[in-house]
Structure formats: structure tokens, C-alpha cells
Amino acid sequence: MTSLWPNDVNNSFTFPPAVGPRSTLADPDPDGVLRWLSGAAEDRSLVGGKAASLAQLAALGAPVPPAFALTTGAYAAFAASIGLPRRDADLVTDALPQLRAGIMDGPLPASVAEAIARGFEAFAGDPGSTASLAVRSSGTSEDSAASSFAGLHDTVLDVRTLDALERAIRRCWASLWSDRAVAYRRERDMADETSEIAVVVQQLVRSDVSFIAFTTDPVTHARDRVVIDATWGLGESIVSGLIVPDHVTVGPDGEVLDYAVGDKHLMVIPGDGPAFASLGTREVPVPRSLRTQPAMSHEQARDIALLARNLSRQLGYEADLEGGIAVGRIHLFQARPITTLGTRSDTR
């Protein structure tokens, strides 16, 4: 297959061949605890929706930063070892805070601890890596809305040490038991279903520029163009509506039809300080000279549009892509179907 991707520069990351103390060439992960998202399709019930999606993108050769998933099996082993309830129905009322505390402090099973350590080492040892990680919950529910209600602490960015990684993973597990998540499940009569969660640990790209691209204009529903929102730093500031991003429209032949520069007066960057949205990020002002300067070049916009269109074709749906540009290279973080199409009447 010829390359689908405009910048055919593969990440130099080397996926480790085996993890876990009992791993062998034949069965690298006998405990089913950790899965590297390196190109094979992955079972959603094992790694969660987010990881399965990343695995699919990686399999298509998209420029996705390397990642592994700590499986639902890992969570199950941990839950069993500290006696966590598996269903909401088994919960004692008002026990949630203690339950979450137990998740933060309880001892990890050896296989899980070992897998996490090996996974961290693979990132830390890579000469091309920035040794900064993003840790995110990857829910198994088919209902994507359920995933989004998993809780406040379901994402931790700029994780740099093994200790911090372990803590971040525990936070993601604990988010399964946030008040909001439990309430949501109760409302939907899911109390008898087994609650489980996977976690994605991914190399954090310190995006110089972040973008969200749509292969269909979400406002006009025009399908012959790609619409891109872009800003400085991490994408949190676009998603949260913190700033007015640049709004770029790219036509079917890759020509930039319009570039509307936004007032990007703030940006979200990794690091210490009052956390913005996700832990490990902070909100800082943008120097005034860059506020109304285009965040992307026309060439970058064209490349992103090409990436989006190719990917959409491969995936078989109109896609909403999130990604970033770092050190001049385009990275993809997420791709989802645009869900609002077809439910809205054309208003032209």
C-alpha cells in the first residue's frame, strides 16, 4: 500500500517485544495486563474504546504517538486483590470516598506493577521521546456518552516519573467510581453490570500547535471541504472554548479557501501550576504579537486536510480528528465519527 500520509515520517519509537515477568516470545503477555497499540486490532472489551480506536489508527499507519493500554484485566486483578465491588449493586452507600482512597493506596498485584514499570521504561529509554506521558481512561461502554461522564480526573498529562505514572493510572481507575459516574450508571439502570475500565498511556506530544479537523463542515454540512480549528499549545483550549481559534477551510484540491485568524490570547501548555482542565497542564497568556498571528501555515493546513480525508476514507465515516504539530511534524491523537450529521436539517 502506498503511503496515505502526507509526511511519511514514522515515529522512531521501538515497540518492546515483550512485557511481564512470565512473557515469552510465544505469549508475550500471559497475564493479559498490557497491550501495546502497535498495529494489530484490539478488542474493545479488553482495552476500552479509546485504545481500540488508537490501535485502529496505528494499524492504518496514521501518525499516532506510541501508546500502550493497561487492560480491563489489569483493573480486574487489582480490584480483586483489594476487594473492590465489581458492580454498583454491590456498593455500600456512601462508601465511594473510601473506595476511591482504597484505589489510590491499595497495593498493586505484582504482574500489574511489573507491566507498568516495563511500559514506563520503554518510553523513558527511547532516545526520541520527551519522556512525558499522557494517561487517559479508556472506557469499555458502547455508550460514548458514558465514557465522557467517567469523571474529572480521567486524564493526567505531563507524567514524567514511574511514581507519577502509577498515581495517574490509579486516578483513572478511581474515576470509574466518581460520584458523577456512579450517578450516571444508576440513572441508566446499569447497576447490575460489571464496572471495569482500561487506561491508555501514551507518549505526550508537546504540541506547538493543536488542531481539530472535520471532514465535513459541521455548520454547513458541506462535504467537499475540510474545516480546521487551530491554536497555540495543547488542544484543551479549543475544546473548552477558552479562546477563538484560527478557522481554516481547505477545498477538495487541497487549496486553502479561507484562513480566519482567531484571537488566541491564552494557551494551555504542559507543566506545573494551577491545573487547567486536565491535571499536568496550565493556562498561560500568549504574547500579544502571536495572538493574531496564524498558528499554521497553508502547507500544514493542506497536509492536515489530506490526512483527514484519507483517514475518513479508510475508516468509512466522516471524521472529527484531534491532533497537534510538534517540531514541524503532524501527530494524530484521536479520530471519532462526526455524530451530528444527519440529525440536523440542511440550512443553506
Partner 1 sequence: MVDSTLARPASHFEDWNRDIAAGATYTYDPMHFPYPLTPLTASTLGPCFAKGATAAFHELHVPIAGIDVIHRNHHRFECWAPVMPANDDEARAVGEAAEQTMKAEIGRMMERWHGEHLPRISTLNQRLREMNVGSANPAELLKLLDEVNAIHTELWTIHFRVAGPMLLSMQLFDETYADLFGGTDADAHALLVGGLSESVKAAFGLSELAALAIELDLRDLFLETTPGDLAGRLENVTAGQAFLAGLHDYLEAYGLRQDLFEFATPTWREDSTIALANVRSYIQTGHNARAEQAERARSAELALADARDRLASYPEAVRGQFEAMVQFGRQGAFLQEEHNFYIDQRAMALIRLFYLRVGQRFVDAGLIHTPNDIFLLSHEDIERIVGRRFQVPAASVQELVDDRRHSLAAAGELVPPPFVGEPPAGPPPSDNPMQRAMVRFFGGPPTAQDEDSQTLTGNGGSRGIATGIARVARTLDEAKDLQPGEVLVAVTTMPAWTPLFGVAAAVVTETGGPLSHCAIVAREYGLPAVVGAHGATQRIQTGQTVTVDGSTGIVTLRA
Which residues contact partner 1 by CB under 8 A?
158, 206-209, 232-233, 267, 269-271, 284-290, 293, 295, 326-327
By beta-carbon proximity to partner 1, the closer residue of 260 and 327 is: 327
CB of 263 to partner 1, least distance (A): 14
- Only one residue has cell 440542511, namely 346
Integer Cα distance of 102 and 174 in angstroms:
9
- Looking at the Cβ atoms of 17 and 285, the one nearer to partner 1 is 285
Residue whose CB is less far from partner 1, 206 or 247:
206
Give least dist CB 219 to partner 1, A. Answer: 28
Q: Please state the closest distance from residue 265 (CB atom) to partner 1, in A.
A: 10
Which CB atom, from 39 or from 273, has the smaller least distance to partner 1?
273
CB 329 to partner 1: min, Å: 11
272, 252 Cβ separation under 8 angstroms: no
Q: How far is the CB of 135 from partner 1 (least distance, A)?
A: 17
At 201, is the secondary structure helix, strand, or coil?
A: strand
C-alpha span between 250 and 259 (Å, rounded): 9
Q: Indicate the residue among 205 and 321 with the shorter CB distance to partner 1.
A: 205
Mention every residue, 6+ apart, whose C-beta is less than 8 A from residue 30.
20, 22, 23, 24
> In angstroms, what CA-CA distances link 106 with 102, 171, 176?
5, 12, 16
Reference 81, options 185, 180, 173; nearest CA is 173
Phi and psi at residue 277, in whole multiples of 5°?
50, -95
**CA–CA distance, 136 with 199 (Å, rounded to integer):** 6
CB of 49 to partner 1, least distance (A): 29
Quote the least distance from Cβ 140 to partner 1, whole Å: 33
| Closer CB to partner 1, 21 or 287, in the complex | 287
| Nearest residue (CB) to partner 1, 220 versus 293 | 293
Cell (9 digits) for 249: 477551510
DSSP one-letter code for 274: S
Cα–chain center distance at 49: 10
Tell me whether residue 215 or residue 281 sits nearer to partner 1 (CB atom): 281
Strand duo 275-276 + 133-139: pairing = unpaired
Measured between its terminal Cα atoms, the distance across the chain in Å is 39
What is the closest distance, in whole angstroms, from the C-beta atom of residue 168 to partner 1 in the complex? 18
- Are 73 and 31 a contacting pair, CB within 8 Å? yes
